[in-house]
Amino acid sequence: MACAAEHRDQPSATPPPAGNPLTSKLLHFAPLSNSDRQHLDRLAAPEERFPASVDIIAEGMVPRSVFLLKEGMAMRYRNMPDGGRQIMTFLIPGDLCDMHVFLLKEMDHSIGTITPVRVAPISRESLMDLFASRPRISAALWWSSMQEEAMLRERIVSLGRRDARGRVAYLLCELLWRHRAVGLTNGEVFRLPLTQTELGDTLGLTPVHINRVLKEFRQRSLISMDRRMMSLLNVEELQALAGFNKDYLHLGGTSPEVTRYFDGLEANLKR
C-alpha cells in the first residue's frame, strides 16, 4: 500500500486540467505532485470579492497579504501627477498580485479591478511555508516570477520600438496565450472586457488611435469582437505584425531532467 501511495503522488507526464487556475498556471513551470495540487487548492479556498473599478490595494498602502486572482480581470497601474494613468499589466485568473509585496513597506503601485473579481488572500506565513517545504511549488513560483519580469521587458520593447499596430497585435497575442495557459480560451477566442481607454493606457496610445487600429484589424479579418469576446482570426499575421514570439512566456513545460531533479530533491527532504 505504501508503494501505491507513493506512485499516486508522482506528477504525471501529461497532467489533467486543474480546476484551480493557479495550479493550471504553475503546471507549465514545474511538475506538481498530487500533494502539491491539494496544498494549492487549500490555499485558494478562502475567498474575498471586489466589484469592478475599485482598488484591491492602492499605492501607499501597507500590503496585508498576497492575493490570488480566481475569477475576473484586474490591472497593475500607476496614476501620474498630470491625471494620466499607466497600466503595467493585466491580471487574469491564476495570477498573484503580487508575490513579493511582503518585501515592500508600502505599495509603489496599485492593483485595481476591471471586472468583478474573486480573490484568495494568502498570508505571509503560508507563502513562506511554500518556499520552505514545497520545492516543486517554490520552483514554479520562481518561474512564474520570471515570466512576469519577461512580460514587463516585452512591454518596454513594445512601447519603445513597435508602432501602434504592432503594440495592439502584441498585447492581443499575449493575452491569448496567457488565457490559454489557464484553460480560458475556446480556440482563439477569449474574454476581453477592456475599454479602448484601458488599452490606450497600457500601450501609450489615445483611445482614438486604439479605435482606428482595431477597426483596421476587423476590416482585414484579423479579429472580431462580440459581447466582450475577442476572436483572433489570423494569429500568424498578428504575431508577424508584432514580431511576437511567445517563448518569453516560458509556457513550454518542464524537461525530464527538471522532473528528475525534483524527484531527488523531495527524496532528500523526506530523509
CATH of the domain at 126: 2.60.120.10
Per-residue pLDDT of the chain (271 residues; tens, 9 = 90+): 333 333 333 333 333 345 799 999 999 888 888 999 999 999 999 999 999 999 999 888 877 788 999 999 999 999 999 989 999 999 999 999 866 666 666 788 899 999 999 999 998 888 888 888 888 898 888 888 888 888 988 889 999 999 999 999 999 999 999 999 999 999 999 999 999 999 999 999 999 999 999 999 999 999 999 999 999 999 999 999 999 888 878 776 666 666 666 666 666 666 6
Q: What is the pTM of this model?
A: 0.84
Q: Is residue 267 part of a domain?
A: no
Verify that 213 and 183 share a domain, yes or no.
Answer: yes
The range of the structural domain enclosing residue 84 comes to: 25-147
Which CATH number characterizes residue 216's domain? 1.10.10.10
Verify that 128 and 178 share a domain, yes or no.
Answer: no
From 154, 227, 234, 236, select the one nearest 192 (Cα to Cα): 227
Sheet holding 229-232, edge to edge: 189-191, 229-232, 223-226
Verify that 166 and 126 share a domain, yes or no.
Answer: no
**Looking at the DSSP assignment, which residues form a beta bridge with residue 112?**
55, 75
pLDDT score of 220: 98
**Looking at the DSSP assignment, which residues form a beta bridge with residue 57?**
111
